[in-house]
Amino acid sequence: MKALRSIIFSFSFIFLFTQLLFSQSYKIVVMPFDKLNKEKNSELETLTVGISETLSGALSTVDNFIIIDSDRVKRHLLNNASFKQTIGVNEEKDMEKLRELTKEKLDGDYIIYGSFNKIGSQIQLTAKFMEVNTGKVLKGVNVHGKYPDDIFMLQEELAKELMNRITGSTGISKSSIPIERKNNIEEYTKSTENYTAYQYYIKGRMEQIQYDVKNYPLAIEYYEKALKYDPKYALAWAGLSEVNALWGYQIKYANGNWQPYLKIAVEQGKKAVEYGRNLYQTHRALSMAYLNNSEFDLAQKSIDEAYRLNRQDAETLEIMAQLKNYGYKEMAKAGTESNRYIMECLRINPELIIARWALAHSYSTIGDKENALNQYMEILKVNPKHAPALHGIALIYYGKGDYYNSEYYALKTVEADPKTAQHHYTLALAYYQQGYSNPSKWDSAEISFKNALNLNPEYIDAIVTLGQTYYNKRNYNAAIAEFKKALAKDPKNDRAYNEMAISYYALGDYKSAERYSLLAVQYNPTNAINNYNLGLAYYMQKNWEKAIAAFEKAVTYDPNYENAWFNLANCYWFTNRFDRAYEYYNKVLELNPNNSEAQRWRDDSYQKMGR
């Protein structure tokens, strides 16, 4: 924005739109402030973002103001190649390009931009407010004072003066600003008066709004440093709480050890509210912590307060939507309260990742995989390395039986977040399924299952499926060893008992197969596969009556179980009850008219029936 400084604007007041501001919402883009000082100074560099973040936060407390998320500003304006290429060539064209991109990419109505200049122990802040459609500029706002002692007071003055210019108020006296609005601005800008704490908070916030697990450790580090310098910094406590709540939920979703994260998130959220009761951000943080910890009544109470303080904060609306998203099924249904909140949230910030993810998860829960996929893809436009979205896509393709694309996105998931066991497990599953047509994929599956178990040795599904991988590679003893590991951790795991039985069956040890199939049926008696494999163990021992009983249970629990019907027919054939055999071979052919073996033995049974 440095090339824009010498543009001379008319400072006439533009009040034609101010009455409309209170009848509808306006989207405001706050640009990073330009540092006029030439020397390199990391403290002042942070201030370029810090001032815009503080103004954004303070002005977001004002009715009818929707402040565009700073990460969207950075992505669509500051990092936009066409803007970078034109900036500095022609100052008027610079501003035209900025206005064009603001309208096209952010649907913004107004731009706040400005600069600061430190001279000795003094600093001056200048801001301007421009209408995007016309390019008209309000009278500029200038404040100055001591640096760094007055920086928070100056930002407060700047925010109030901008609000007065925008709303048509005059001056910054107490009588000119509604008391609650004034208190909110003051409490936000003076959440801390420690400049070092403020700088660390800004850095933490920049990491947090990426909404990606790889950024969370650094966000926490910065927030904790901020609190070291100011233990009562409400916004830093709120940031810590939200990051731990987000991180804990992601770990919970991935079946990891989430409890410590969400427990501390609640504690930190309470601290945030204690030190900043008039800040919607603190109540929002506490609500998120309660929500992700499944304390829904407390979450609702906190988010109601956040919503009272700011009805147009996208993150608050996302939590409102989540609290009405019963069983993850309501948000994706048009017309529900949850859907109305999430749509309003995405109207305000269509690139809010946590909102897109929540909506995608809801679509997936109700079986609308295409809309879920579309929402996940929208997230990747914002952050191509967003691990939860990549993982969601991998799972959708897996569910469709498209294991090639499942592998592709699972690989990207692991690249984005290699520290989550479930990501390696999903990749292993994609390899595993491809192994039936390309057995070399089972080697890759084995490696990925082991990677998952290195991260989470208690991952029972990974242990059992690793055992199945060994089984498919005909290493039956290795398979049995894995199933025993699973049963040592979960003695009632019917899946492990069933797979153990199959492995012994492959080794020709039908008595052991019977033993473990009985245990599988004991712990899950209505599972058709468990009963079928018990029937096979009896079948191979020629214990026909018990085999018949087991196969009959299998087809009771799954009437379309073709192999169970076929082997049930075989049992009757071997016991010379050809009429029943004929009946059940016919049942097989109803399910699969192309089963040549069933046709052969049905005809044989028919011939034998009359003898």
Structure tokens given for 367 = 């079986």
Distance CA(560)–CA(557), nearest Å, equals 9
Structure tokens given for 132 = 């995007």
Report whether pLDDT(22) > 70: no
547-561 mean pLDDT: 98
Angle at CA of residue 558, ends 480 and 553, nearest 5°: 75
Q: Facing residues of 130 across strands?
A: 111, 137
Contact between 382 and 351 (Cβ < 8 Å): yes
Q: Is 363 helix (H, G, I), strand (E, B) or coil?
A: helix
- Where does the pLDDT of residue 178 fall: very low under 50, low under 70, confident under 90, or very high at 90 and above? low
- Where does the pLDDT of residue 308 fall: very low under 50, low under 70, confident under 90, or very high at 90 and above? very high
Structure tokens given for 568 = 């049930």
**Residue 105 to residues 109, 209, 229, 448, Cα–Cα distance (Å):** 12, 19, 38, 40
Mean pLDDT is lowest, of 87-96, 388-397, 533-542, 554-563, for 87-96
Q: What is the mean pLDDT of the chain?
A: 89
pTM of the model: 0.82
**Cβ partners under 8 Å of residue 143, min gap 6:** 124, 125, 154, 157, 158, 161
Structure tokens given for 158 = 């700047």
Distance CA(251)–CA(455), nearest Å, equals 12
301-310 mean pLDDT: 95
490-504 mean pLDDT: 98
**Residue 139 to residues 20, 60, 134, 142, 575, Cα–Cα distance (Å):** 19, 21, 15, 10, 99
Distance CA(547)–CA(541), nearest Å, equals 9
Structure tokens given for 347 = 């109207």
Structure tokens given for 201 = 């908070």
- Where does the pLDDT of residue 182 fall: very low under 50, low under 70, confident under 90, or very high at 90 and above? low
Percent of the chain at pLDDT exceeding 90: 64
Other Cβ atoms within 10 Å of 28 Cβ, number = 25
What sign does the dihedral 117-32-179-303 (CA atoms) show?
negative
Tell me, what DSSP letter sits at residue 117?
E
> Which H or E element spans position 256?
none
207-211 mean pLDDT: 84
Report whether pLDDT(159) > 90: no
Question: What per-residue confidence (pLDDT) applies to 6?
Answer: 31
Question: What per-residue confidence (pLDDT) applies to 320?
Answer: 97
- Considering only residues 135 and 379, tell me which one the structure prediction assigns the higher pLDDT: 379
Question: What per-residue confidence (pLDDT) applies to 5?
Answer: 34
Question: What per-residue confidence (pLDDT) applies to 256?
Answer: 78
> What digits encode the pLDDT tens for the residues 410-422?
999 999 999 999 9
> What digits encode the pLDDT tens for the residues 114-146?
889 999 999 999 988 888 988 888 768 889 999
Choose from 65-74, 119-128, 159-168, 260-269 the range with maximum mean pLDDT: 260-269
Distance CA(86)–CA(128), nearest Å, equals 22
Closest CA to 375 of 86, 230, 365: 365
- Where does the pLDDT of residue 386 fall: very low under 50, low under 70, confident under 90, or very high at 90 and above? very high
**Residue 331 to residues 131, 134, 352, 366, 381, Cα–Cα distance (Å):** 35, 38, 15, 10, 22
Strands 26-30 and 65-67: parallel
Domains along the chain?
26-174 (3.40.50.10610), 212-310 (1.25.40.10)
Question: What per-residue confidence (pLDDT) applies to 168?
Answer: 61
101-115 mean pLDDT: 89
Q: How many CA atoms, within 13 angstroms, populate the side-chain half-sphere of residue 63?
A: 15
Distance CA(128)–CA(4), nearest Å, equals 12
**Cβ partners under 8 Å of residue 28, min gap 6:** 59, 65, 66, 67, 68, 108, 109, 110, 111, 112
What are the CB-based long-range contacts (under 8 Å, 24+) for 178-184?
180/278, 181/61, 181/62, 181/63, 183/278, 184/58, 184/61, 184/278, 184/279, 184/280, 184/309
Question: What per-residue confidence (pLDDT) applies to 89?
Answer: 40
**Cβ partners under 8 Å of residue 475, min gap 6:** none
Closest CA to 473 of 449, 453, 493: 449
- Where does the pLDDT of residue 44 fall: very low under 50, low under 70, confident under 90, or very high at 90 and above? confident
**Cβ partners under 8 Å of residue 187, min gap 6:** 234, 276, 278, 279
Contact between 591 and 571 (Cβ < 8 Å): no
Asked if omega into 231 is within 30° of 0 (cis), the reply is no
- Where does the pLDDT of residue 573 fall: very low under 50, low under 70, confident under 90, or very high at 90 and above? very high
> What digits encode the pLDDT tens for the residues 451-461?
999 999 999 99
Distance CA(529)–CA(38), nearest Å, equals 74
Question: What per-residue confidence (pLDDT) applies to 176?
Answer: 44
Distance CA(193)–CA(198), nearest Å, equals 8
Report whether pLDDT(14) > 60: no
Mean pLDDT is lowest, of 3-17, 91-105, 189-203, 209-223, for 3-17
Torsion angle of C-alpha atoms 75, 79, 83, 84, degrees rounded to 10: 170
**Residue 398 to residues 374, 402, 415, Cα–Cα distance (Å):** 16, 6, 18
Distance CA(595)–CA(106), nearest Å, equals 60
